[in-house]
C-alpha cells in the first residue's frame, strides 16, 4: 500500500503506570497429525481516548501471512473480537481488502 510505520514506539512504555489495556491477538493454526501450532497472523487492539469523541477500542492493525489471506480467518474471529472489544474504531489507513471486509 506504499507505507510502513510501527504501530507502537518505545517511548510509549511507562513502567510506573498501570498495565495497558492494549492487546495483540494471535491467529494460530494446528498442523493435522502433529502437535505443531503455527502462528499465521495477529490483530492489534488499543484503548483510544479522543478529544472529540467518546473513548473506545480501536483496531490499529491486522496482518495475516500471505498464504493464509482470504481464507476466512478474520471473518470467523470477528464475532469474538466484537464481543471482546465492542464497536471498535477501524484505524486508517485501510487496505482495499479491509475496506471490503
CATH number for position 68: 3.40.630.30
Does residue 2 form part of some domain?
Answer: no
Q: What is the pLDDT of residues 1-45, one digit of tens each?
A: 565 666 555 555 555 566 678 899 999 999 889 999 999 999 999
DSSP 11-68: GG--TTSPPP--EEEEEEEE-TTSS-EEEEEEEEEEEE--SSS--EEEEEEEEE-GGG
The verdict on residue 12 lying in a domain is: no
Q: What is the pTM of this model?
A: 0.74
Q: How many domains does the chain have?
A: 1
Domain-located, residue 75: yes
Domain for residue 11, yes or no? Answer: no
Q: Give the CA distances from residue 95 to residues 1, 29, 33, 47, 65, in Å, rounded to whole numbers and listed in that order.
A: 7, 24, 35, 22, 15
Q: What is the CA radius of gyration of the chain?
A: 16
Domain interval for residue 89: 19-100
Q: Which residues pair with 48 in a beta bridge?
A: 56
Amino acid at each position: 500500500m506504499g507505507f510502513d510505520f510501527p504501530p507502537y514506539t518505545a517511548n510509549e512504555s511507562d513502567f510506573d503506570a498501570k498495565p495497558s489495556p492494549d492487546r495483540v491477538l494471535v491467529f494460530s493454526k494446528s498442523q493435522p497429525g502433529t502437535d505443531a501450532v503455527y502462528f499465521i497472523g495477529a490483530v492489534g487492539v488499543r484503548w483510544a481516548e479522543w478529544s472529540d469523541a467518546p473513548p473506545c477500542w480501536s483496531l490499529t492493525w491486522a496482518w495475516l501471512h500471505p498464504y493464509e489471506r482470504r481464507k476466512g480467518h478474520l471473518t470467523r474471529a470477528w464475532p469474538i473480537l466484537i464481543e471482546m472489544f465492542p464497536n471498535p474504531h477501524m484505524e486508517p489507513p485501510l487496505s482495499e481488502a479491509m475496506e471490503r471486509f
